[in-house]
C-alpha cells in the first residue's frame, strides 16, 4: 500500500452482518434480506473508496475528490482480535473491513464521527415464488418481513459517518505514525468509550422500561391482591352476617317450639294445642247435650204412662255416658299439664 504520505493511518470496523435492510433503489421493494450470500457481498467491498459521509452520486469512481482512503481487506470476525491500543474485540460472526485514511482532515473527521457505513446497489435478487393462487409467498427473518433476498451487489463506497446503519460499526484504529501523540490515542479511546457509554445508556433506558413495566405489573398485582383481600373481607362479613341470621332463626325456632310444647299436649306422639283440646271437650259436651235433647223430644211422643219411666231411664243412661265422656277428656287434659285446670 503506497500512498506517499506520512499521515496514512489504518483502521478496522464492523460494517456488515446478516439481517433485513431497508432498500429504496427499487420501488417494488421495501426491505431486503442479506444472509446466505453475505460472504460474497462483503468481499465485493475490497478496494472500495472511503469518503466522509454518504453523498451523491453514490458511486465513487477513481479520481473522485471525495476519496480520503480505501478498503484494503474484509474478514469474518470468528476468533476475535486485539487492536494496537489493546482493545479486544470479541468474536461476533460479523464482517469487518480494514481501511486507511490518507490525510489529516480525514483523520479528524474519523475522530469526530467514529463509525462506518457501506453503500451498495443490488445486482441480483432472489424473489419469492407465487403460490397456486398466484400470490407471492410472505417472507420474514426474525419476525421482520422482507420482499427479496440479496444475492450479489455492486459496492458503491464506504463512508465515515456519525449515524451508522449498524450500531456495532465503530472504527478501531490499528496503526500509529511515529509523529502521533499520546493525546490522539486518548481521543480514539474516548470515541470507543463514548460508544460504550451510548450503548450503556441505551441498555439502562431499556432496563428502565423493563423495571417500570415490572413495577407497574407489581402495582397491578398489589392492587389485585388488595382487591382480592377486600373481596375476602366482604365475603367474611357476609358469612358472619348470614351465620348470625341463621343462629337467630334457629333460636327463634327453638323458642317457638318451646312455646308450642308448653301450650300443647302429647297425644299418641303428636302435640295437640290445649285450645284444640278445649274445643274437643266443648264439642263433646255439646254433642251429649244434643243427644239428650233428642232423647227428651222422643220421649215426649211416647205415651204418658211410659214416658216418665222411659225418660228417666234414657236420661239416666245418657247422663251416665256424658259423665263417662267428660271424665275421659278430663283425664287426658289434666294429666300432662302439671295439675292445672284448663277450664278455670
Spell out, as residue ranges, where the chain has pLDDT lower than 70: 1-6, 166-168, 174-229, 233, 236-237, 239-240, 243-248, 250-251, 253-262, 264, 267-269, 274, 277-278, 281, 284, 299-344
pLDDT at 335 (0 to 100): 47
pLDDT at 322 (0 to 100): 58
Give me the sign of the Cα torsion angle 327, 332, 335, 338.
negative
pLDDT at 138 (0 to 100): 86
DSSP annotation string for 301-322: TS-HHHHHHHHHHHHHHHHHHH
pLDDT at 340 (0 to 100): 45
CB atoms within 10 A of CB 209: 10
b (16+ CB within 10 A) / e for 14-34: bbbbebbeebeeeeebebbbb
What tens digit of pLDDT does each residue of 100-142 get? 999 888 989 998 998 999 999 999 999 998 888 888 888 999 9
Set of cell numbers at residue 174: 490499528
Set of cell numbers at residue 241: 352476617
Q: Which 3 state secondary structure label does DSSP give 79?
A: coil
pLDDT at 212 (0 to 100): 59
pTM above 0.75, yes or no: no
Amino acid at each position: 500500500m503506497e500512498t506517499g504520505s506520512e499521515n496514512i493511518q489504518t483502521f478496522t470496523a464492523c460494517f456488515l452482518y446478516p439481517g433485513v435492510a431497508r432498500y429504496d433503489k427499487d420501488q417494488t421493494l421495501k426491505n431486503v434480506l442479506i444472509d446466505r450470500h453475505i460472504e460474497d457481498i462483503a468481499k465485493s467491498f475490497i478496494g472500495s473508496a472511503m469518503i466522509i459521509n454518504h453523498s451523491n452520486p453514490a458511486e465513487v469512481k477513481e479520481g473522485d475528490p471525495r476519496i480520503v482512503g480505501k478498503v484494503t481487506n474484509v474478514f469474518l470476525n470468528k476468533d476475535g482480535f486485539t487492536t494496537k491500543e489493546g482493545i479486544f474485540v470479541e468474536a461476533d460472526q460479523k464482517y469487518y473491513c480494514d481501511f486507511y485514511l490518507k490525510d489529516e482532515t480525514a483523520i479528524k473527521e474519523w475522530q469526530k464521527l467514529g463509525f462506518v457505513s457501506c453503500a451498495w446497489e443490488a445486482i441480483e435478487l432472489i424473489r419469492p415464488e407465487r403460490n397456486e393462487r398466484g400470490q407471492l409467498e410472505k417472507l420474514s427473518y426474525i419476525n421482520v418481513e422482507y420482499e427479496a433476498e440479496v444475492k450479489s451487489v455492486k459496492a458503491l463506497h464506504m463512508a465515515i459517518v456519525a449515524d451508522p446503519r449498524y450500531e456495532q460499526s465503530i472504527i478501531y484504529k490499528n496503526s500509529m505514525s511515529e509523529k502521533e501523540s499520546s493525546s490522539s490515542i486518548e481521543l480514539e479511546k474516548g470515541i470507543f468509550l463514548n460508544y460504550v457509554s451510548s450503548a450503556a445508556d441505551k441498555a439502562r433506558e431499556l432496563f428502565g422500561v423493563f423495571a417500570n413495566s415490572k413495577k407497574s405489573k407489581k402495582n397491578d398485582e398489589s392492587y389485585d391482591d388488595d382487591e382480592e383481600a377486600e373481596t375476602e373481607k366482604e365475603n367474611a362479613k357476609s358469612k358472619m352476617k348470614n351465620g348470625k341470621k341463621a343462629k337467630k332463626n334457629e333460636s327463634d325456632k327453638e323458642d317457638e317450639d318451646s312455646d308450642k310444647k308448653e301450650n300443647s299436649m302429647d297425644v299418641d306422639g303428636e302435640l295437640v294445642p290445649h285450645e284444640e283440646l278445649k274445643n274437643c271437650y266443648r264439642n263433646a259436651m255439646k254433642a251429649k247435650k244434643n243427644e239428650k235433647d233428642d232423647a227428651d223430644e222422643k220421649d215426649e211422643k211416647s205415651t204418658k204412662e211410659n214416658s216418665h219411666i222411659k225418660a228417666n231411664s234414657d236420661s239416666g243412661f245418657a247422663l251416665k255416658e256424658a259423665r263417662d265422656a267428660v271424665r275421659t277428656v278430663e283425664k287426658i287434659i289434666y294429666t300432662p299439664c302439671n295439675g292445672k285446670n284448663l277450664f278455670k
